[in-house]
Chains A and B, each alone.
Chain A
Amino acid sequence: MPRMTSKELVAASARPLVLSILARGESWGYAILRDVEAHSGGKLAWSEGMLYPVLHRLEREGLLLARWRTGDSGRRRKVYRLSAKGRRALDSERAAWLDVHDTLARLWDGGDPCPSPT
Chain B
Amino acid sequence: MSESDLNRSADADPTRSADDHDPYEKALAAWRRDARARELPRETVEELEAHLRESVDALVRDGAAARLTPVEALGVARARLGELDGLREEFVAADRGAVWRGRLQWMVTGGLAFAAVPILASTAGWLAVLVGRTLGAGDTVLPMLYVLADVNVLALALLVVVAVVRGNAGGVVDRLDRAAALARRLLSSPGGVVLACAGLVAVVLVQRLTYLLALPTLTARLDAGGVGRLLTTRGWIDFVQLVAVPLVAVALLVALRRKDDRERRALVAE
Contacts and interface: CB of A to CB of B under 8 A. Distances in A.
B139 interface: no
A35 B1 contact: yes
Nearest to B80: A48
A60 B263 CA distance: 9
B270 A83 contact: yes
Interface string B1-28: 1000110011111001000000000000
Contacts of B5: 31, 34
B54 interface: yes
Contact of A29 (B10, B43, B47, B94): B47
Interface of A: 27-31, 34-35, 38, 47-50, 52-54, 56-57, 60, 62, 65, 71-78, 83-85
A33 B12 CA distance: 21
Contact of A49 (B43, B54, B87): B87
Given A54-B94, A75-B16, A77-B50, A27 B1 contact: yes
Contacts, number: 89
A27 B6 CA distance: 9
28 contacts: A28-B50, A29-B51, A30-B54, A31-B6, A35-B1, A38-B1, A47-B82, A48-B51, A48-B80, A48-B81, A49-B82, A49-B86, A50-B82, A52-B44, A52-B47, A52-B90, A53-B90, A53-B93, A53-B95, A56-B91, A56-B94, A57-B95, A60-B94, A60-B263, A71-B10, A72-B11, A73-B13, A83-B270
Contact of B13 (A47, A52, A75, A83): A75
B-side interface mostly: helix
